[in-house]
């Protein structure tokens, strides 16, 4: 039976044998802490031609298992999302794939001091630099019954609709805004991520929102990954 301990040992073995290290995100949010029947994907940080890239190792992945993605926290989304999308597809559509096998991001829960996991196989990454605000307008029939809130995450700031958040006030302000604006309707959060955001920050926001655990608050499974050079009104300053 494979448990957390075996995963930690695997991390140590790969680090020592390959001379490569992965520093996974550290987040003070609870997550799944035990997964049986798993294999692992590794994304190391590497530098090639002065560019930071993800060095992907999936040699030991088995289609009939859960896949755990161990990704260096310093990598930016533009370096990892293309590989994540390809691997999601392979895991789901392989000839030997099985129903009920999921994809998980790994991180260190600093509260429990345990390795933890966030399931993400339902996420659909939209990478053409469309923002959710435009997407909702184009698909208004799908979203008209919800209290729709667009949330944008940049390396230096966050936005709730058209309001820029100051440091440390995002979670409180978002919950207050949901309470104020919902008017009895289910709220749907639409997440927009600057592709320059670090994986550390990405997991920080993802785990925080996941742990709202409120049936009145839904999160759109489509995540909008954008290039700030292609979106002049992203508030990326």
The percent of residues in the chain predicted with pLDDT above 90, rounded, is 79
Element (H, E) at 70: strand 66-71
pTM listed for this prediction? 0.91
Antiparallel, parallel or unpaired: β 66-71 and 103-109: parallel
Phi and psi at 82, nearest 5°, equal -55, -40
Confidence of residue 2 (pLDDT cuts 50, 70, 90): very low
**d(C-alpha 35, C-alpha 120), whole Å:** 14
Comparing 46-50, 113-117, 134-138, 148-152, the range with the smallest average pLDDT is 46-50
CA triple 206-46-14, angle to 5 deg: 80
pLDDT at 18: 57
The percent of residues in the chain predicted with pLDDT above 70, rounded, is 91
192's tokens? 């927009």
**d(C-alpha 130, C-alpha 112), whole Å:** 37
**d(C-alpha 76, C-alpha 213), whole Å:** 27
For 8-59, how does the pLDDT look when each residue is reduced to its tens digit (9 = 90+)?
A: 544 444 443 456 789 999 999 999 999 999 999 999 999 888 888 999 999 8
DSSP H helices, the chain, are 4-18, 77-93, 132-138, 140-143, 170-181, 199-210
Phi-psi region of 105 (alpha: psi -120 to 50; beta: other; left: phi over 0): beta
CA triple 50-17-40, angle to 5 deg: 80
CA triple 97-103-107, angle to 5 deg: 155
Got the DSSP string for 152-192?
EE-SS-EEETTEEEPTT-HHHHHHHHHHHH-TTSPEEEEEE
């Amino acid at each position: 039976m494979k448990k957390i301990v075996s995963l930690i040992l695997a991390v140590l073995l790969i680090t020592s044998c390959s001379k490569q290290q992965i520093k996974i995100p550290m987040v003070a949010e609870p997550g799944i802490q035990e997964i049986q029947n798993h294999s692992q994907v590794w994304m190391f940080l590497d530098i090639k031609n002065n560019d930071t890239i993800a060095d992907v190792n999936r040699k030991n992945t088995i289609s009939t298992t859960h896949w755990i993605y161990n990704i260096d926290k310093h990598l930016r989304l533009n370096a990892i999302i293309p590989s994540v999308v390809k691997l999601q597809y392979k895991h789901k559509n392989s000839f030997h794939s099985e129903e009920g096998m999921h994809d998980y991001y790994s991180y260190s829960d600093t509260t429990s001091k345990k390795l933890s996991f966030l399931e993400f196989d339902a996420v659909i990454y939209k990478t053409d630099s469309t923002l959710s605000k435009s997407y909702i307008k184009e698909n208004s029939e799908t979203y008209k019954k919800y209290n729709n809130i667009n949330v944008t995450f940049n390396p230096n700031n966050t936005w709730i609709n058209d309001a820029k958040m100051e440091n440390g006030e995002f979670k409180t302000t978002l919950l207050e805004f949901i309470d104020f604006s919902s008017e009895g309707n289910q709220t749907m959060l639409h997440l927009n991520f600057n592709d320059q955001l670090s994986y550390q920050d990405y997991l920080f926001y993802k785990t925080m929102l996941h742990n709202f655990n409120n049936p009145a608050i839904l999160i759109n499974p489509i995540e909008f990954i954008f290039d700030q050079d292609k979106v002049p009104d992203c508030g990326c300053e």
